[in-house]
Amino acid sequence: MNLEARSKQFLAATIAIFVSCLLFLIPAKSQEKPRPKVVELDTHGKDYLQVLAGPPESVSMKSGLEVLAPNQSVGKHSTGQHEELLVVLQGRGVMTFKDGSKLDVQANHALYCPPETEHNVTNTGNGVLRYVYVVSSTK
């Protein structure tokens, strides 16, 4: 192969590498918008069912179904930079906050928990406590 042919081949390879690097640096096409979906709320005997996991299923929303046995609690946790909604489907319980205040929860009630709020949910009834929580980012 003569020098001119090698130079053309080298130039073509250099251009190909340059274009590949540019394509790597260009942000990917924005993801498709979330699509409607149906999620069956049957835990199949488990204590927890994830309903929405966040992107790409939703813009920022996450949710799940909790099932607590009598005297069982979900555990202390904070909403962080999220706001949270609980929709109680079955049973009775209490939401306890870091400062010791409490809100009673029962079937057919919804509770709102603002961002940066440490809380816990405990089943205080004789049967199961089933609720769906939905969290959404505030940032």
Residue whose token pair is 């706001």: 83
pTM value? 0.73
Place 35 in a pLDDT band, splitting at 50, 70 and 90: confident
Place 42 in a pLDDT band, splitting at 50, 70 and 90: confident
pLDDT by residue (tens digit) across 67-114? 999 999 999 999 999 999 999 999 999 999 999 999 999 999 999 999
Burial of 106 (0-12, 13-18, 19+ CB in 10 A): middle
Given CA atoms 48, 52, 55, 56 in this order, what sign does their dihedral have? positive
Q: How far apart are alpha carbons 44 and 42 in whole angstroms?
A: 5
CA-closest candidate to residue 133, choices 74, 76, 88: 88
Peptide bond into 56 cis (omega under 30): yes
Strand order, beta sheet including 110-113: 48-53, 62-68, 129-137, 82-90, 110-113
pLDDT at position 3 over 60:
no
CA-closest candidate to residue 132, choices 78, 96, 95, 86: 86
Q: Which two tokens stand for residue 50?
A: 């994830």
Q: What is the mean pLDDT of residues 53-72?
A: 93
Place 14 in a pLDDT band, splitting at 50, 70 and 90: very low
- State the average pLDDT for the chain: 84
Domains by residue range for the chain, with CATH:
48-137 (2.60.120.10)
For residue 75, the model assigns a pLDDT of 95
- How distant, in Å, are the alpha carbons of 2, 33, 80 from that of 49? 68, 24, 21
